[in-house]
């Protein structure tokens, strides 16, 4: 499979038009599955599930490693396609990184031992806990990390003996179709099926009587809609929803030393990341130094067409998201906040670019701080009282990630323990690891992904007691 043929294999003569977000060029048409196609996919996945479950852990582990090998063999083709459709550059923590992460998550999901747990073994009796397959898992994903997030849903589900029907975002269907094509070059038939289409297909999946569990990553609004729809069939769910991650810099932090990690914490994937740093709280004592160090780092990072090797920042994936970022930055500027960098997009240029933007001296209740911007614009809030900063950080309904920045690990850990989030990083932000569980607090969702806990989430606990 070359890059061209892989693209050719996943596009159709007609269907949903997919454009390059950097240039506006038509990449191709994504096939649009019908409601009947989705029913057929679920029926096939249901039929394939018992023999996949019966294959046992060791054969499924080998199958996941073989699938990871297949991705490695097609890594560059996948990265190029992802870059063109999603917009993210090949280099930096972007397209090649994302394809590499798919391999890492598959191999880790394959490698973690899952054993029955002995709960009780004494004169009163014996009890052990097994993790059985659930059946068919419905995977619904977003457009920001389409391949990696699909793998987060597919890899643990397959490992635990489930089959999977995946519904990609209509913004990035080709990336997921290409990934599934490569995975299916080694997996048994019908263990993994992709059904491209819009949100109505996602809804159908969440209503379907033969889907045992929904793995969802996307917006809080859609997550709530899915919870309601899925209630009738009592589906299991993992909800990885939006966040608005706070970072708190402590007075003893070294601005120069943390500037680059702060930058990538916020601007990874051009800010389009669920657990990116989206609001930064900095004490008076080092406020100007942090703003300056961050501006110097940010100003050096090239933004442009993803396929051009020098770029590390790209366009927004779609016009809707670009307009959200522009609206929030304009309103912040109008409110009197100080734009340190960016904030002035080139209206005539092709693509959905928005420049790297830093906004200082902003009110903590400004919408750029309290709403999820999901793009390359970071508000930097000044504080003089750490208690106040912690209160602001905890003041929203979401709580996916957060971070504390300090030269004193013990003090940072103490502040971290007071933040309401699924993960709090110290002196970094968003550094996920396939061995370490990840999930949200509050309205950022529920259920853990990754590690042994992530495998257990796609299994039915079953106690045997005597």
Give the residue numbers annotated as catalytic, written as ranges. 240, 274
Considering only 28, 89, 156, 218, the residue that binds ligand NDP (CB under 6 A) is: 218
**Does 327 interact with ligand NDP (rule: CB under 6 A)?**
no
Tell me how far, at minimum, the Cβ of 415 lies from ligand NDP, in Å: 25
Burial group, residue 36, by CB count within 10 angstroms (0-12, 13-18, 19+): exposed
Angle at which helix 287-299 crosses helix 255-267, to 10 degrees, equals 60
Residue span binding ligand NDP (CB under 6 A) among the ranges 51-59, 122-130, 216-224, 376-384 = 216-224
Among positions 179-198, residues that touch ligand NDP (CB under 6 A) are: 198
Task: Give me 260's structure tokens.
Answer: 């680059």
- Of the pair 121, 330, the CB lying nearest ligand NDP is at 330
Q: How far apart are CA 148 and CA 385, in angstroms?
A: 39
Tell me how far, at minimum, the Cβ of 444 lies from ligand NDP, in Å: 8
| Site of tokens 């297909």 | 201
Q: Which residues are 425's β-sheet partners?
A: 403
Residue span binding ligand NDP (CB under 6 A) among the ranges 15-23, 165-173, 355-363, 413-421 = 165-173
Furthest CA-CA distance within the chain: 78
Q: How far apart are CA 210 and CA 231, in angstroms?
A: 14
Among residues 259, 160, 198, which one has the least CA distance to residue 33? 198
CA-to-CA separations, 209 to 42, 71, 213, 403, in angstroms, rounded:
10, 32, 10, 41
Task: Kindly state the number of chain residues that form the binding site for ligand NDP, as judged by CB under 6 A.
Answer: 27
**Does 226 interact with ligand NDP (rule: CB under 6 A)?**
yes
Query: What is the helix (H) or strand (E) element at residue 238, kind and residue range?
Result: strand 236-240
Considering only 77, 98, 240, 449, the residue that binds ligand NDP (CB under 6 A) is: 240
β 423-426/401-405 pair status: parallel
Contacts of 409 (CB under 8 A, 6+ apart): 426
Contacts of 117 (CB under 8 A, 6+ apart): 128, 129
Residue span binding ligand NDP (CB under 6 A) among the ranges 48-56, 235-243, 335-343, 348-356 = 235-243
**Does 296 interact with ligand NDP (rule: CB under 6 A)?**
no
Considering only 71, 140, 305, 362, the residue that binds ligand NDP (CB under 6 A) is: 140
Considering only 203, 333, 382, 411, the residue that binds ligand NDP (CB under 6 A) is: 203
**Does 219 interact with ligand NDP (rule: CB under 6 A)?**
yes
Residue span binding ligand NDP (CB under 6 A) among the ranges 122-130, 213-221, 327-335, 403-411 = 213-221
Among positions 93-122, residues that touch ligand NDP (CB under 6 A) are: none
β 163-167/136-140 pair status: parallel
Tell me how far, at minimum, the Cβ of 270 lies from ligand NDP, in Å: 13
Q: How far apart are CA 326 and CA 233, in angstroms?
A: 41
**Does 238 interact with ligand NDP (rule: CB under 6 A)?**
no
The strand order across the sheet containing 125-133 reads 117-122, 125-133, 459-465
Binding mask 35-74 for ligand NDP (x = CB under 6 A): ----------------------------------------
**Does 401 interact with ligand NDP (rule: CB under 6 A)?**
no
SS3 for 262? helix
Considering only 87, 89, 161, 242, the residue that binds ligand NDP (CB under 6 A) is: 242
> In the complex, which residue's CB is closest to ligand NDP?
202
Considering only 170, 190, 261, 457, the residue that binds ligand NDP (CB under 6 A) is: 170
- Of the pair 143, 287, the CB lying nearest ligand NDP is at 143
**Does 374 interact with ligand NDP (rule: CB under 6 A)?**
yes
Rg (CA), the chain: 22
Q: How far apart are CA 233 and CA 295, in angstroms?
A: 51
CB 136 within 8 A of CB 46: yes
Considering only 86, 144, 175, 366, the residue that binds ligand NDP (CB under 6 A) is: 144
Considering only 169, 311, 423, 424, the residue that binds ligand NDP (CB under 6 A) is: 169
The binding site for ligand NDP (CB under 6 A) comprises 140-144, 167, 169-171, 198-199, 202-203, 206, 217-219, 222, 225-226, 240-242, 274, 321, 372, 374
């Amino acid at each position: 499979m070359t890059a061209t043929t892989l693209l050719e294999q996943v596009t159709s003569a007609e269907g949903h038009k997919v454009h390059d977000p950097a240039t506006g060029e038509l990449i191709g048409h994504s096939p649009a599955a019908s409601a009947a196609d989705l029913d057929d996919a679920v029926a096939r996945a249901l039929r394939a599930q018992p023999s996949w479950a019966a294959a046992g852990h060791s054969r499924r582990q080998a199958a996941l490693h073989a699938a990871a090998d297949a991705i490695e063999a097609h890594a560059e083709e996948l990265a190029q396609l992802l870059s063109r459709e999603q917009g993210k550059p090949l280099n930096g923590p972007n397209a090649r990184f994302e394809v590499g992460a798919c391999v890492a998550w598959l191999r880790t999901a394959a490698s973690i031992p899952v054993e029955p747990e002995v709960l009780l073994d004494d004169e009163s009796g014996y009890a052990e806990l097994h993790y059985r397959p659930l059946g068919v898992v419905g995977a619904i994903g977003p457009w920001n990390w389409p391949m990696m997030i699909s793998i987060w849903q597919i890899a643990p589900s397959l490992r635990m003996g489930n089959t999977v029907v995946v519904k990609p975002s209509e913004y990035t269907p080709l990336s997921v179709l290409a990934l599934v094509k490569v995975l299916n070059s080694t997996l048994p038939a019908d263990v993994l099926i992709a059904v491209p289409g819009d949100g109505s297909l996602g809804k159908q999946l969440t209503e379907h009587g033969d889907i045992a569990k929904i793995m969802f990553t996307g917006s809080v609004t859609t997550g709530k809609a899915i919870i309601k729809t899925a209630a009738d069939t009592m589906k299991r769910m993992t909800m990885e929803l939006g966040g608005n991650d706070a970072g708190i810099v402590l007075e003893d932090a070294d601005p120069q030393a943390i500037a680059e990690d702060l930058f990538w914490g916020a601007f990874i994937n051009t800010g389009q990341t669920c657990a990116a740093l989206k609001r930064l709280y900095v004490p008076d004592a080092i406020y100007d130094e942090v703003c300056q160090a961050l501006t110097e780092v940010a100003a050096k990072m090239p933004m442009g067409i993803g396929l051009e090797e020098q770029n590390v920042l790209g366009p927004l994936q779609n016009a809707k998201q670009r307009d959200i970022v522009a609206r929030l930055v304009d309103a912040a500027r109008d409110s009197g906040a100080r734009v340190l960098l960016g904030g002035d997009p080139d209206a005539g240029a092709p693509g959905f670019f928005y420049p790297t933007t830093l906004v200082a001296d902003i009110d903590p209740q400004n919408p750029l701080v309290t709403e999820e911007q999901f793009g390359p614009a970071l508000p930097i809030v000044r504080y003089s009282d750490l208690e106040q900063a912690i209160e602001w950080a905890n003041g929203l309904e979401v709580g996916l990630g957060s971070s504390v920045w300090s030269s004193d690990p013990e003090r940072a850990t103490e502040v971290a323990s007071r933040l309401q989030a699924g993960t709090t990083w110290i002196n970094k932000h968003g550094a996920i690891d396939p061995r370490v569980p990840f999930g949200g607090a509050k309205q950022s969702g529920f259920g853990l992904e990754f590690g042994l806990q992530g495998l257990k989430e796609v299994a039915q606990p079953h106690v045997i007691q005597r």
